[in-house]
Structure 1
């Protein structure tokens, strides 16, 4: 026992399991395909082009496709970015006030994701306006939830 500092005590405890990749998968993520999501994407786009921005943003943030593959999430993100980008600066605060706290959490995820992709970086000013208004309305809670949530958009 001269090298007692290097003993792996977890090896002696049968109830101490190792953390695996399967443990990191968020629970309750139903797989969503692009075919299932396409009507919702079209509805978001039609609402935003018709000027019904409140409904478009509410629909986009109501049930995000957490269980979709990356290409499906990218297409959904593109529709959300289009809706966010078509909103007038004066309407942003009013829209955010009509969202629930869960929708605030989803919106902040889309804002961060939008700022990290080239399509969203082209609209950086409007996304930062959304971010500013959201943090003024909801505080830092959506940011903290974004940092601690394992589900990605």
Structure 2
């Protein structure tokens, strides 16, 4: 009697929108994306030991992993970014955020939202994320939030 509920009607619909049609996939192989994320994590640790927070943040935000089959790289990149956010003095956040490009600001906003969606995850501190969100919104404006919410490339 309830077998009709197991039919995927989207298969029969010509107008269905597939995730692969929303954005171009990451051209790199998943293993290459993970290797790049590991290399970035090492570079970030080196930059943090030298006190170069803006350089570390720029490194992790450039060419962020997105798309399917790269969940390990996404998690590693988020962990690396959280390390940077937690090791930054709150008085320095404004200047650091202003030094980022618009694409980097948008990517940072994506990671902030991803971090706030994961309560109790690792070293994520809600007050740190909200502080960065406040300073980022002041510097980049509400357009940054809109671009983040409408972009289909999820980090």
TM range (shorter): 0.7 to 0.9
RMSD: 2.1
Tell me which structure has the larger Cα radius of gyration: 1
- For the structure 1 residues 22 and 104, does the alpha-carbon distance in structure 2 shift closer, same or farther, using more than 3 Å as the test? closer
User: What number of residue pairs does the alignment pair up?
Assistant: 139
Shift of 1:36: 3.2
**Aligned mates of 1:122, 1:143 — CA distance in 2:** 20
Counterparts of residues 1-153 of structure 1 (less than 5 Å): 17-31=14-28, 32-33=30-31, 34-67=34-67, 69-117=70-118, 118-119=120-121, 122-153=124-155
Q: Tell me if the contact between 1:96 and 1:133 (Cα under 8 Å) persists in the aligned partners.
A: yes
Aligned to 1:8: none
CA deviations over 1:59-112 (Å, ceiling 9, x no partner): 111211114611221011100110111000011001011011111100100100
Q: Which range is displaced more, 115-124 or 94-103? A: 115-124
User: Distance between the aligned counterparts of 2:137 and 2:121, measured in 1?
Assistant: 23
Q: Unmatched 5+ residue regions in structure 1?
A: 1-10
Give TM-score scaled by structure 1 length: 0.81
Could you tell me how far 1:17 is from its partner in structure 2? Answer: 3.3
CA contact (8 A) 2:38 2:76 kept: no
- SS of 2:121's partner is helix
